[in-house]
C-alpha cells in the first residue's frame, strides 16, 4: 500500500519543509519514503510544491500524477491539483487564503483556516504545520505521535519554534477530528 501527498503553495509557506517532515516521519516509522520537489521554472515564479510518497514496499515511479492527498496552501495550487487527487483521497484547503472549495463529492475535503490558527498560536510561519496536522489526523499516512517526535527532534535547537509547530500540528489535527468522517458516495448512487 502506497500513500502519496502533494503539498502546494507559494514560496515561503514552508511547503518543502512540511513535506520533508512527513517523509522523515515515514522513515522513522520504518517505511520506504521519497520526497520529490518541484524545482522547475515554476519555482522561479513563486509557486512551490513537493510530493511525498510513503510505502511498505520499494517505491517505483517518483512521478505521481494522481496523488492520494493534497495540501493546498493557496488558490492556484488548489485549482491546479484538486482535480488530480484520486477518488477517496483527502484535500486540505487553507481557507484563510482560499475563498473557494472543491466541487467534488468523491474526496474528503477539509477546509482549515491555517494562517488564522497559526497567527493565534504566535506566527503565520506555522500555517503549513496546521495543514500537516490536519492531514495526519485525517489520513493515517503516518502515526501522529511519530510526526510530533520528528518535529521535536528537527527543531531541538529552537525550542520556541518546536513548541509553536507542535501546537500548530495539534490544532490542525483538532479541526480535522471535529469534522464527521468522510463517507464516499455509494458506487451505485
Residues that bind other proteins (CB under 8 A): 20, 23-24, 27, 32-37, 39-41, 59-63, 65
| Nearest approach, Cβ of residue 27 and other proteins (Å) | 5
Whichever of 59 and 124 has its CB closer to other proteins, that residue is 59
Q: How far apart are CB 42 and other proteins at their closest, in Å?
A: 10
Q: Are the C-beta atoms of residues 49 and 6 closer than 8 Å to each other?
A: yes
Distance CA(139)–CA(23), nearest Å, equals: 15
Shortest Cβ 118–other proteins spacing (Å) = 25
Neighbours of 129 (CB within 10 A): 29
Residue 102 or 150 with smaller CB distance to other proteins: 150
If the CB atoms of residues 46 and 123 are measured against other proteins, the closer one turns out to be: 46
Q: Taking a C-beta distance cutoff of 8 angstroms, is the pair 132, 91 a contact?
A: no
Strands 32-37 and 47-55: antiparallel
Amino acid at each position: 500500500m502506497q500513500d502519496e501527498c502533494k503539498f502546494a503553495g507559494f514560496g515561503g509557506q514552508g511547503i518543502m519543509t512540511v513535506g520533508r517532515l512527513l517523509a522523515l516521519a515515514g522513515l522513522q516509522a520504518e517505511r520506504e519514503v521519497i520526497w520529490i520537489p518541484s524545482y522547475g521554472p515554476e519555482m522561479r515564479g513563486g509557486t512551490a510544491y513537493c510530493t511525498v510518497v510513503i510505502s511498505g514496499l520499494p517505491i517505483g515511479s517518483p512521478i505521481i500524477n494522481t496523488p492520494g492527498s493534497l495540501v493546498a496552501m493557496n488558490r492556484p495550487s488548489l485549482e491546479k491539483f484538486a482535480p488530480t487527487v484520486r477518488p477517496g483521497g483527502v484535500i486540505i484547503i487553507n481557507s484563510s487564503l482560499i475563498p473557494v472549495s472543491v466541487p467534488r463529492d468523491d474526496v474528503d475535503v477539509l477546509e482549515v483556516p491555517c494562517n488564522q490558527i497559526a497567527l493565534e498560536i504566535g506566527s503565520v510561519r506555522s500555517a503549513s504545520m496546521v495543514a500537516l496536522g490536519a492531514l495526519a489526523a485525517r489520513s493515517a499516512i503516518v502515526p501522529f505521535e511519530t510526526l510530533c517526535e520528528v518535529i521535536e527532534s528537527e527543531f531541538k535547537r529552537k525550542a520556541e519554534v518546536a513548541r509553536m509547530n507542535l501546537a500548530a500540528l495539534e490544532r490542525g489535527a483538532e479541526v480535522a477530528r471535529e469534522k464527521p468522517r468522510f463517507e464516499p458516495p455509494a458506487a451505485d448512487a
